Structure 1
Amino acid sequence: MRALIIEPSPTYQRILSRMLESYDFDITFVDTATAGFRAMREHSFQFVCVAMYLADLTGIEFCQHVRSEGQAKALPIFIVTSESNPELLSSALAAGATDIVRKDDLPRLEEALHALIPLGPFRYNISGKALYLEDSLTVAKATDAKLKRLGLSMDHAFSIQQALELLQHNKYELIMTDIVLQDNETGIDFIKQLRSEVRFQQTPILAVTSLESVNRRILALQSGANDYISKPVLDEELFARINNLISANRLVDQLTRERQRLLELATKDHLTGLYNRHFMGEVAKRRFAEANKQQLPLSLLVIDIDHFKQVNDQHGHHIGDKVLKRLAEALREQFSEQDCIARFGGEEFVVLLHQCDLTDATAKAQQLCERLQQLKPEGIATSASIGVTSLNPAQTEYFDEVFARADKALYQAKQSGRNQVVASSA
């Protein structure tokens, strides 16, 4: 569909363009009535929007001229104006304008479009890929054409096996399935199989069923279908249901990502990506409770980067931040995923070693000390002092007292010349 916008203001051209995009218009912009007449001779338009005041004519005069041609009596012509003079507005309607829209009330233009333009897929902002399990090639081809109008490409499968093979290699925004399939297969079986796998539990599924199969529709929903549509399928109903399913799923994805982002903000150090002090405390509560109950070994490392203030003073905080990031990467590489690594603040780090006794923890701390000395991030020589201690198996201990013991060992390492490991038994 084509729309003609006769508007001298680039700002309102952009505003009107954004408004018409959802209707899938091919938009032609001109800034004078003369250019508008020329465009109408060259193309057929389904909608015209004209400003009240142009360089050569008014919007009212433009309407009079168009309506006098006789061939454009049914063409919707809207005049956009900042005027509120009732007599002027009456003159515009008498001249043949379909409606008058004030510039401070442009949503009214969209309301008018809803009434004038037939419902269709151009209303929806959908893209992506759909899978349709359907044993009729004719039905599949017809549905493919409809989905293309929505902006969806479609893969077609004749059988459940073919559908599962396609799902192995493609990601789909939507899965559609007929309920009655060939070779005694059913869409119900397919839906159940999909929902049994974690990766498909959130994928929207639309069941397609016949009008008389009320029980099948209920069974489809109970099996995990998000919605159903009855045959014969009405285009606008199909478009609306697909739009609702995909939009809802995208909203869930967006909320999940936002929840994950907020969780990371609450648990991670923004500079290094390591856990923060608060999260370490939460993990430590669980780990110490488990270790005390089951008599499991548990060790703690407190790490302080030597003379880090000099790095900031000599090279600037920007370089200091890069050094900290590289040191954090080295910590992640050194320890396992079961170990909890946190930045406690500034240049101090803490590592909670899962099921690790004092002997192994001291050896790991020594390896780390040597590695950091060789690392030279940003070409800067670095070293670390490390205090090590372990949970006393003979008594019940908790994080605060074990941390205090490791911190005291760290202080001894720094007092003894730095770049070394000091272990403290309970």
Structure 2
Amino acid sequence: MTARILVVDDIEANRSLLETRLTAEYYDVITAEDGQRALDICASSPVDLVLLDVMMPGIDGFEVCRKLKASPETCHIPVVIVTALDEMADRVRGLEAGADDFLTKPVNDMQLLARVRSLLRLKMLTDELRLRAVTARDIGLDKLFDADGGDEGGKKPEVLVIEERQSSFDSLVRPMRREFSVSRGEDPQAGVFTAVEGDFDCIFVASRYENFDALRVCSQLRSLDRTRFVPVILVADADDDELVGRALELGVNDYIVRPADPNELIARLRTQVRRKRYHDGLRANIAQSIELAVIDGLTGLYNRRYLETHLETLVARARSRERNLSLLITDIDRFKTVNDTYGHDAGDDVLREFARRLRDNVRGMDLACRYGGEEFVIVMPDTSAEVAADIGERLREQIERDAFLVANGADSLPVTVSVGVATLSRDGDEDARALVKRADEALYEAKAAGRNRVVSDAA
């Protein structure tokens, strides 16, 4: 994963040190020597993450963070305050200003890089949701979510704490009770079931259980549909550095070290709840606003109209940031025979089931669309030609392996699919139309060569 990271510090040696560390991980790093310059850069060019010093001439880091988070154009950019200040009051002040994390100099490399990767994944998801919301507005739909975080009518946020030890649970939740409604999972497995059955705004996971791996709990929460987007905060011990790094790689949103300072705990929890409600609002608005206009009524996937509007933006963004973008076109083989032999109701059953399998084989950031008839398109940001071809082959194998049930399960049909793959050229000025055309030509090759195969045109 590549990204554009802004390092803000008035001391050149500090900027150079962070720039060297991040460049070694293949990030695109830009620097600013003061707060105003940082604000100007964020306002005028794409930035994926800000590493921000506090003590600077002019506008200090706290004020820069507040200004970034107050602007609708920059509020979604993750901000990590990196400073020599190590007092708890400074940490809480930074979090209350809207910072996503607070790291004390000298910065531990493992913690820095794990936190950077975690926040960049979150930024990618936020970008995709925002982009889809803007697309809905641009194609003439009236309502675009005003993402202010919402208070859901004054209802207390629901928090789940998965903690075996009663004393540890009591000490952790004591400062929460005034502002949050707290539930407990008394053991890891029961806690996961409670999380799935409930509607929680945040989940705390203890780093140590008597007979269960805490990372397994985090992995389960991230893999289940009901909890995939619920913020998870790891409650770690002071010597859990390696475990914290692995947890962040698994998708944990944040962590706090025991004994937790009550003010820091509440500040971090508020941040996670605010972000979740922001994302929930975007998702809900997208679903409500574009369903009739850009959702295919039969399969529930986006339709061709949405693809043609959205793909131009994705191509432009991939090109400006020098990132990969791949596109798959799939075509159900001999679909007319299904309609002619079994009827159009059976054909509709096949299309609906194919769309479901398509959704199961793509990531949350990917865009799956019904292109028309029995053709479907998948757009995959940050995906190389090789990975895209592997995904196409995995989909092809699954379609061929598992027969399709029709007529409420009364009949089953063998189905195969042909797939054409194209990846955006890094050279020249290829547009969305040209990318689709190359994928379509690859699909034609696959069908001409006997169907039930994947052909890739990487340009």
TM more than 0.5: no
TM-score band (shorter)?
0.3 to 0.5
TM-score (norm 2): 0.39
Specify the structure having the higher radius of gyration (Cα): 1
